[in-house]
Amino acid sequence: MTTTASVVGGTGFTGGELLRLLDGHPEFAVVQATSRSEANKTVGGVHPNLRHMNLRFSDPEDLDSVDVLFACTPHGVSMERIDRFRDAAGTVVDLSADFRLPAAEYYDDHYDGHDRPELLAEAEYALPELNRENLPGADLVAAGGCNATATIVGLLPLFGHDILSGGERIVVDVKVGSSEGGAGGGAAASHAERSGVVRPYAPTGHRHEAEIEAYLGTSVSFTVHAVDMIRGASATCHVFPDDPVSKGDMWGAYRGQYEDEPFVRMASGGGGVYRYPEPKAVAGSNVAEVGFEVDPPNERLVVFSAIDNMMKGSAGQAVHAANVALGFEETTGLAATGFHPIGSP
């Protein structure tokens, strides 16, 4: 039996990526994609890679009944429309920040509060590597932020494997591509301004810091740079453990955490040009690469992770979580490998 799906916010970058993934997914049939600005226009007119789809955007006020609704809308829309979304669909997967954080205090401290704080306890964080056991049957799923996802996937093995216990100093530096800002962009995202940049933005107080702290249970010092990529997020984490850590300890932790994960692979100082996690190497795929080095003189651990923000950092993660929530094989519709060689993706 086919599972019906709709995409609210179908003209955006994550909406387009979701439509691409759902179009190739054997279990889902996309019956609706919404847009206010492009209502009645074809999906292919906005997303040229989807010109073959026989689908027109419709008004988000007029939602079809479906099995799964994916909300790809700016922060604030889902919390305002959540009752309508839940009336229309058995399962809602939200890609915005609206249901990601586990308690209202996080929204009071890092956003402009929350309209529906009572629902936060019902929402399940989508990242299967962190929350797989709570996803089956979940009817409100919140996909993680892309920078937070890259960071959490990189650091997660350090917790629970006797390397960090929480409270140690961690400095995180993320480089991210322009698609993170959405299709709307703005002046800073214009080609002329964005091309060639290594531009710090939100050097302190980035909202994803709260998400990392909520799910890893420790505070981090977090800065993001906008760099000249379209897709991709690359996190470098400088970690200062209380006690010396060997390379063997690190391999034990990372293998123990990830050896059975279908979408995490190690890239840690091997041969070739790409010795560590590289956004180019995962572009278009749902894979997160992780790797590390140990710096004994300074007793510093350097942890690297790389994802495609459109995939593991948003739409791919959402489909992965939906597969788990609905009982499909986890990798369904997500098995594609990225390209090599490729220019700036």
Ligand X SMILES: NC(=O)c1ccc[n+]([C@@H]2O[C@H](COP(=O)([O-])OP(=O)(O)OC[C@H]3O[C@@H](n4cnc5c(N)ncnc54)[C@H](OP(=O)(O)O)[C@@H]3O)[C@@H](O)[C@H]2O)c1
User: What is the C-alpha to C-alpha distance for residues 84 and 61, in angstroms, rounded to an integer?
Assistant: 9
Of 223, 222, 180, the residue nearest 200 (C-alpha)? 223
Long-range contacts formed by 51-54: CB under 8 A, 24+ apart: 53/19, 53/23
User: What is the C-alpha to C-alpha distance for residues 12 and 182, in angstroms, rounded to an integer?
Assistant: 6
H and E: helices and strands count for the chain: 11, 14
What is the enclosing helix (H) or strand (E) of 141? strand 140-142
Q: Which stretch in 22-30, 91-99, 197-205, 326-334 sits in contact with ligand X by CB under 6 A?
A: 91-99
Say whether 237 is catalytic. Answer: no
Which of residues 9, 128, 157, 316 is near ligand X by CB under 6 A? 9
User: Which is the catalytic residue, given 146, 224, 237, 310?
Assistant: 146
Q: Which stretch in 74-82, 109-117, 131-139, 285-293 sits in contact with ligand X by CB under 6 A?
A: 74-82
Which of residues 101, 135, 138, 145 is near ligand X by CB under 6 A? 145
User: What is the C-alpha to C-alpha distance for residues 142 and 151, in angstroms, rounded to an integer?
Assistant: 17
Which of residues 51, 75, 199, 340 is near ligand X by CB under 6 A? 75
| Radius of gyration of the CA atoms of the chain, in A | 19
In three-state secondary structure terms, 188 is: helix
- Write the interaction track for ligand X spanning residues 169-208; mark x where CB under 6 A is met and - where it is not: ----------xx-xxx------------------------
Q: Which stretch in 73-81, 99-107, 121-129, 191-199 sits in contact with ligand X by CB under 6 A?
A: 73-81
Is 35 an interacting residue with respect to ligand X (CB under 6 A)? yes
Is 58 an interacting residue with respect to ligand X (CB under 6 A)? no
Length of the chain: 345
Residues 310-339 that bind ligand X (CB under 6 A): 310, 313-314
Strands 169-176 and 233-240: antiparallel
Other beta carbons less than 10 A from residue 259's beta carbon: 9
- Write the interaction track for ligand X spanning residues 249-288; mark x where CB under 6 A is met and - where it is not: ----------------------------------------
Is 291 an interacting residue with respect to ligand X (CB under 6 A)? no
Residues that bind ligand X (CB under 6 A): 8-15, 35-38, 60, 72-75, 77, 95-97, 145-146, 179-180, 182-184, 309-310, 313-314
As annotated, the active-site residues are 146
